[in-house]
Amino acid sequence: MREQLAKIREDALSRLAAVRDSGELEELRVRYLGKKGEMTAVLKQMGRLPAEERPDMGKLANEVRAAIEEKLAEAKKRVDAQALELKLRAETVDVTIPGRVPDIGHRHPMYIALDEMKEIFIGMGFTVVDGPEIELAELNFDRLNAEEGHPSRDWSDTFYFDRDSRVMLRSQTSPMQVRAMDTLPLPIRMVAPGRVYRKDEVDATHSPMFHQVEGMVIDRGVTMADLKGTLNTVIRKMYGENTQTRFRPHHFPFTEPSCEVDVQCHKCGGAGCPTCKGEGWIELLGAGMIHPHVLEMAGIDPDVWSGWAFGFGLERTAMRRFKIDDLRLIFENDVRFLEQF
């Protein structure tokens, strides 16, 4: 038994001296000091010794155990230090390496055009207001003189939420005229940009979701001449002093008289090309003098107050501004396209 203990000590100490990682270390600890380890196996034989030998043997066993434990602790220190060293080396940060510059991105071209437009209107004393995309048909249609049975209320053109056709995705920003008349004090000068929805198929000039910028002025003695002057000023600020515009008679239920406003085609300068479909002109907006009945429905006396309103197509405005010839590019969000602006 004495020899057994001596052998265990010698083995254990030499193996522990050579240990390289914490896995090996744990293996050795279990092998020598574990419940089923070599020391335990030896101690189990103690009972068979004559009584007078037991104290000596017990003392020896304790010494061997203590020696192994000490060596274990020492080996653990060494292995831990090595592991830390490795970890530090692997995780070194070289502060002299140049950093990676993050891609910051920038405003979308349509919003650049919108911001320019807002700036111009704010400079002319307009306030910018915001309203819901989920709208009551009452405001989108009834209060704008488009009663039951009006063709634009048809299910084939409009996204409704309910069978009774009372709640819908607004098909135009014009209900913002009504909201402004109902909430703002007179006189009013406001613009209201936002999304609108119609059941259109996607092509180079159509999308079921697009943006409009509504505008409205109500004051005493406001005329069509003010409308023309204001719109021409805005369009020339956006597109250049020499930009030609064309006011064409049109019909909207909530304005009378009504017009559509075109701007000369940027591609061909008016000669006619595929971009303007041979017209030489690109339609930008609808406008007109607010119908007296619309004022009356908002409780505004048309004998005292008059006003006008307009609705820009924002995509078209941006396309003309940046010479983009396909509407789909605005929504596809291809970074190669967007980076050009």
Rule CB under 6 A: is residue 174 a binding residue for ligand PHE?
yes
Stretch touching ligand PHE by CB under 6 A, among 3-11, 42-50, 83-91, 309-317: 309-317
Instruction: Please identify, using beta-carbon distances, which residue of 61 and 213 lies nearer to ligand PHE.
Output: 213
Stretch touching ligand PHE by CB under 6 A, among 116-124, 135-143, 232-240, 304-312: 304-312
Give me Rg for the CA atoms of the chain: 42
Residue 336, φ and ψ in degrees, nearest 5: -65, -35
Instruction: Check if the beta carbon of residue 8 is closer than 8 Å to that of residue 32.
Output: yes
Instruction: Check if the beta carbon of residue 16 is closer than 8 Å to that of residue 75.
Output: yes
Quick note: the x/- pattern for ligand PHE over 125-164, rule CB under 6 A, is: ----------------------------------------
Instruction: Check if the beta carbon of residue 212 is closer than 8 Å to that of residue 313.
Output: yes
What DSSP assignment string belongs to 250-269? EEETTEEEEEEEEEE-TTTT
Residue 94: count of CB within 10 angstroms of its CB: 5
Residue 189, φ and ψ in degrees, nearest 5: -140, 105
Stretch touching ligand PHE by CB under 6 A, among 82-90, 202-210, 227-235, 305-313: 305-313
Among 197, 252, 281, 305, binds ligand PHE (CB under 6 A): 252
Instruction: Please identify, using beta-carbon distances, which residue of 113 and 289 lies nearer to ligand PHE.
Output: 289
Quick note: the x/- pattern for ligand PHE over 269-298, rule CB under 6 A, is: -----------------xxx----------
First to last CA, the chain: 89
Q: Rounded to the nearest whole angstrom, what is the least distance from the CB of residue 259 to ligand PHE in the complex?
A: 8
Q: Rounded to the nearest whole angstrom, what is the least distance from the CB of residue 184 to ligand PHE in the complex?
A: 17
Q: Rounded to the nearest whole angstrom, what is the least distance from the CB of residue 318 to ligand PHE in the complex?
A: 17
Long-range contacts of 326-335 (CB under 8 A, 24+ apart): 326/204, 327/203, 327/204, 327/205, 327/206, 327/207, 327/210, 328/202, 328/203, 328/204, 328/207, 330/108, 330/109, 330/110, 331/207
Q: Rounded to the nearest whole angstrom, what is the least distance from the CB of residue 180 to ligand PHE in the complex?
A: 12
Cα–Cα distance measured from residue 143 to residue 318, given in angstroms and rounded to the nearest whole number: 30
Rule CB under 6 A: is residue 230 a binding residue for ligand PHE?
no
Instruction: Please identify, using beta-carbon distances, which residue of 194 and 288 lies nearer to ligand PHE.
Output: 288
Would strands 209-219 and 245-252 be described as parallel, antiparallel, or unpaired?
Answer: unpaired
Rule CB under 6 A: is residue 194 a binding residue for ligand PHE?
no
Instruction: Please identify, using beta-carbon distances, which residue of 131 and 288 lies nearer to ligand PHE.
Output: 288
Rule CB under 6 A: is residue 311 a binding residue for ligand PHE?
yes
Instruction: Check if the beta carbon of residue 277 is closer than 8 Å to that of residue 283.
Output: no
Instruction: Please identify, using beta-carbon distances, which residue of 61 and 258 lies nearer to ligand PHE.
Output: 258
Stretch touching ligand PHE by CB under 6 A, among 222-230, 291-299, 308-316, 330-338: 308-316
Instruction: Please identify, using beta-carbon distances, which residue of 71 and 255 lies nearer to ligand PHE.
Output: 255
CA 276 to chain CA mean position, Å: 33
Q: Rounded to the nearest whole angstrom, what is the least distance from the CB of residue 196 to ligand PHE in the complex?
A: 7
DSSP 3-state of 43: helix
Instruction: Please identify, using beta-carbon distances, which residue of 139 and 287 lies nearer to ligand PHE.
Output: 287
Among 172, 264, 275, 306, binds ligand PHE (CB under 6 A): 172
Q: Report how far apart, in Å, the C-alpha atoms of 161 and of each of 149, 171, 199 are.
A: 18, 13, 14
Rule CB under 6 A: is residue 255 a binding residue for ligand PHE?
yes
List contacts with ligand PHE (CB under 6 A): 172, 174, 252, 255, 258, 286-288, 309-311
